[in-house]
Amino acid sequence: MMKTSEIKELTKKEILERIQLEDETLTRLNLNHAVSPLDNPMKIQVARRNIARLKTVLRQRELNENQK
């Protein structure tokens, strides 16, 4: 799980790459879970929350740039 403070240190490009990577992970987890139950289904929730954190920080930066 990524902390918000860790995400804020990343560049915009790194955040976009992380979002893509987490999205692929989430898709894979969901497909695997549909076929046979995962031994730890909380991984799906963690991946979704990581994506949300990344998108939130990205959006905050966009809003800050627009205000300046």
- Number of structural domains, the chain? 1
Token pair in block for residue 44: 């799906």
CATH number at residue 37: 1.10.287
The separation between the first and the last C-alpha atoms of the chain, rounded to the nearest angstrom, is: 32
What contacts 26, CB < 8 A, 6 or more positions away?
44, 47, 48, 51
Task: Tell me the pTM.
Answer: 0.89
Residue range 15-58, pLDDT digits in tens: 999 999 999 999 999 999 999 999 999 999 999 999 999 999 99
Is the pLDDT assigned to residue 68 strictly greater than 80?
Answer: no
Residue 61 pLDDT level (bands cut at 50, 70, 90): very high
Full residue range of the structural domain in which residue 24 is found: 4-67
